[in-house]
Structure 1
């Protein structure tokens, strides 16, 4: 009856020991965190005595995984950004203009001369024909540039709508393409923001889409919302543009197809550059901080195959001419092309500090945001507030644990002590599992653990009450214990299964804090069932084998 095989005993204690070992680093959180950071820095940036001293704070043979603290516990920055999807419409029209121009030039004999209308509304491309009789052929040529919309909702539609009236041709994106473009833009922005934040090395950021065009960003451990905005708020649109002219008048007429933009380094200097870039940052595959030949901070860059070919062809054909390196509509530098630059690599120089060159390299590596972000909400949560939450969570957990432990001892005596030992193991196992999976603990997550403390003994209560009933029915102690566990097991599984289903639904349907609560609640249910059915039973069996009591009191 009361018999557990040796291999089962070893397996149960091994699982408990593993849970305790993986939970152990959280008892020395700061020390282990510093050691982990030092080891990571040694791998990426080299060894130093200071890093070695920090790494030695925690033995390498012990587990070093930690439960990540959420924004409400660690402090950090919270941003809600809206993606300006309309910016992409104008960019698409600018990119389309060279194709339209080339298509009409090839048929100038039938279409006649034409020119672009500079005062067209944003997101529209307008052309005026010198000869209205060529309108039908011009419309046919421009409509031939249309492509199918690549989305399920836009099946059968084309990406542009072309209309003509009198001598004026108007080109704009179709409604189906706008919907598809909006979705692509937000998805791309989401991924680029994630890459930029990952490059900085922050822990467990929350980056998720909200609604159709908004993105929620929460980064624990970062200094302020302003610091977070400096990382992700820059669009980092890098382009290489042909220089048309240079002057000091910001209001000068640039001419059709050109624009006037300021220089970062030369105050009061403005460059007139072609709107259509030679190469863009989208064709950049790598960017690293470096130093130029004079020892000043700079950024090395490298293009992909297509970008390298275009860059090489342009430099070969324009030796002696200046070209502008433009970042977010500001000229970083405008060097003169001295020779053909093959291979698609080069260097960006300017009046950078080391920090600025490193920051620029991070932005360029992560890629350019396809559209600007408007920050609708920003909050900085200080670490003091996070520490207050941790302290409050500790107090709540300790009070709940003491109350439950006291209740179990008063109600069930020695068996209550056995249940309390299993409860302590249960809590340690929750932290151990969270450490292994890299879970994030939030304030609602602490609430889930506190709730688990109360629910963990529920299974033991069912078992002990069944043992009492068996003892009252005249069963022997061994028989009563065995029957109590056997008859209570189905009720325990059924009761906890419904709670797990609830936790799964909360995790699937919820976000942020709700998911944190669902994770700790679900893990707590699994570990509490394990400790109630297996750990307490093993402790009681070991006690019974040692004492062999004639009577027991529960």
Structure 2
């Protein structure tokens, strides 16, 4: 066996072992050297259910730019990741002429008051601290700054959410079990807040969020460190408010234009049917290759099994979100994975009929089939890139999911067809066990010329 073939075989064995570890249903993942990866399968909205919402600017006449809508999109993503506990949310900016919108897909968000949670996350997030003198305000009431200009110079708040330290914002409970939101000032605001509370002991400090009162309490002493905001809110509301405060205010006001809830039942049924379809398709491909191409077909089937394992491992490794369309792309790529093998094996059989030695026929067959393999796969890759671009641009996650899985499948299939199958054949050639014509699906007479040519050349 040539040294290059031995090294390639070793590489294939290592890749197969790694893929098996990643694909194992209850794999513990990797948790060493600061790397933490559970190798979980991320399912899309259509497979595990969840919420799909379309957000539009509240004021249709407001001037919206690419920068502001992108900033709003980034803030919403941060709030979703920090406040809803949703894995792999899909949040995209869409544009129709001069009209902007944000598409939000939250897989697995199937519990609780979904509309209320989204509304809380869509709050502009303008936290303000007001001095209302001797007047306490009712929680959830609307605050009117014009009524308190005597205690708030210029009708402006003493402090805002920009003065908060994001790392110090969180939710806890007091000694009586009441929920509270912890906060602390940052930079110069620390000393200013301490001086303000020292000078206004006995006054009511009213905290508002988007001009809605969430707390109005008497300042009993100077606050030179962390403080708390109490109110009548549930745990989910407190966590959502803390998330809004932690990531800052939205640059533009948004509202929910449409909200669709997707149940997980359809997804479970779709997964089962997709697995059945994939198993049937894979079995038919394996059987065809084995019956028509004999030994090379068996080696191609082994490479196909490795292809399926490697592809699924890559999906888990890089965190591809599998949708129903994505699974369809994966199943489609299984059939395309043997396309290169068919071209190569036919070329090899032609070279054998022409009288070449087996090793020379394999090398010539691969070289002559490569241009066709390259062009056909590259054209598919270009199509996938176009589909992915338009899917992302217009928020069509079904299209982008299909394109992602298909392009990964095509790239990996090229590796298994060009490298893996050829390596398997090169391993067997020196042994002489594959010199019989029947192993290639050829009649004895057609190989006779090749055998004679081989003897005369010796």
Q: For this structure pair, what is the TM-score category when the shorter chain's length is used for normalisation?
A: 0.7 to 0.9
In the TM superposition, what is the alpha-carbon distance from 1:451 to its structure 2 partner?
A: 1.6
Residue 417 of structure 2 corresponds to 532
Instruction: Provide the C-alpha distance between the structure 2 equivalents of 1:4 and 1:476, rounded to a whole number of angstroms.
Output: 20
One of 118, 128, 153 as aligned partner of 1:239: 128
- Determine if the alignment matches structure 1 residue 189 to structure 2 residue 72: yes
Instruction: Provide the C-alpha distance between the structure 2 equivalents of 1:214 and 1:350, rounded to a whole number of angstroms.
Output: 33
- Structure 1's unaligned 5+ residue stretches are 44-59, 90-177, 261-271
- Determine if the alignment matches structure 1 residue 71 to structure 2 residue 58: no
Question: Structure 1 residues 12, 292: closer, same or farther in 2, change over 3 A?
Answer: closer
- Contact kept, 8 Å, 1:73 with 1:383, in 2: the verdict is yes
- Contact kept, 8 Å, 2:5 with 2:427, in 1: the verdict is no
**Correspondences of 1:29-68 after superposition (within 5 Å):** 31=26, 64-68=38-42
Instruction: Provide the C-alpha distance between the structure 2 equivalents of 1:5 and 1:475, rounded to a whole number of angstroms.
Output: 21
Instruction: Provide the C-alpha distance between the structure 2 equivalents of 1:307 and 1:190, rounded to a whole number of angstroms.
Output: 28
Instruction: Provide the C-alpha distance between the structure 1 equivalents of 2:429 and 2:67, rounded to a whole number of angstroms.
Output: 66
Rg (Cα) greater in structure: 1
- 1:378-426 Cα distance to aligned partner (Å, 9 max, x none): 1111111111221222122122212222221222122212111111111
Count residues in correspondence.
Answer: 420
**3-state DSSP class of the match of 1:277?**
coil
- Determine if the alignment matches structure 1 residue 392 to structure 2 residue 273: yes
In the TM superposition, what is the alpha-carbon distance from 1:283 to its structure 2 partner?
A: 2.1
**3-state DSSP class of the match of 1:289?**
strand
In the TM superposition, what is the alpha-carbon distance from 1:81 to its structure 2 partner?
A: 0.7
Residue 122 of structure 1 corresponds to none
In the TM superposition, what is the alpha-carbon distance from 1:348 to its structure 2 partner?
A: 1.0
- Determine if the alignment matches structure 1 residue 491 to structure 2 residue 358: no
TM-score, with structure 1 as normaliser: 0.68
Instruction: Provide the C-alpha distance between the structure 1 equivalents of 2:144 and 2:92, rounded to a whole number of angstroms.
Output: 42
Residue 215 of structure 1 corresponds to 102
**Correspondences of 1:130-529 after superposition (within 5 Å):** 178=63, 182-200=65-83, 201-211=85-95, 212-223=99-110, 225-226=114-115, 228-230=117-119, 232-243=121-132, 246=135, 257-258=146-147, 275-286=155-166, 287-292=169-174, 294-343=176-225, 345-511=226-392, 512-529=397-414
In the TM superposition, what is the alpha-carbon distance from 1:310 to its structure 2 partner?
A: 4.1
- Structure 2's unaligned 5+ residue stretches are 442-458
TM-score, with structure 2 as normaliser: 0.81
Cα RMSD after superposing both structures: 3.4
In the TM superposition, what is the alpha-carbon distance from 1:531 to its structure 2 partner?
A: 0.8
In the TM superposition, what is the alpha-carbon distance from 1:450 to its structure 2 partner?
A: 1.6
Question: Structure 1 residues 246, 315: closer, same or farther in 2, change over 3 A?
Answer: closer
Moved over 6 A (4+): none
Question: Structure 1 residues 523, 463: closer, same or farther in 2, change over 3 A?
Answer: same
Instruction: Provide the C-alpha distance between the structure 2 equivalents of 1:494 and 1:2, rounded to a whole number of angstroms.
Output: 30
**3-state DSSP class of the match of 2:184?**
strand
- Determine if the alignment matches structure 1 residue 8 to structure 2 residue 8: yes
- 1:115-142 Cα distance to aligned partner (Å, 9 max, x none): xxxxxxxxxxxxxxxxxxxxxxxxxxxx
Moved more, 371-380 or 455-464: 371-380
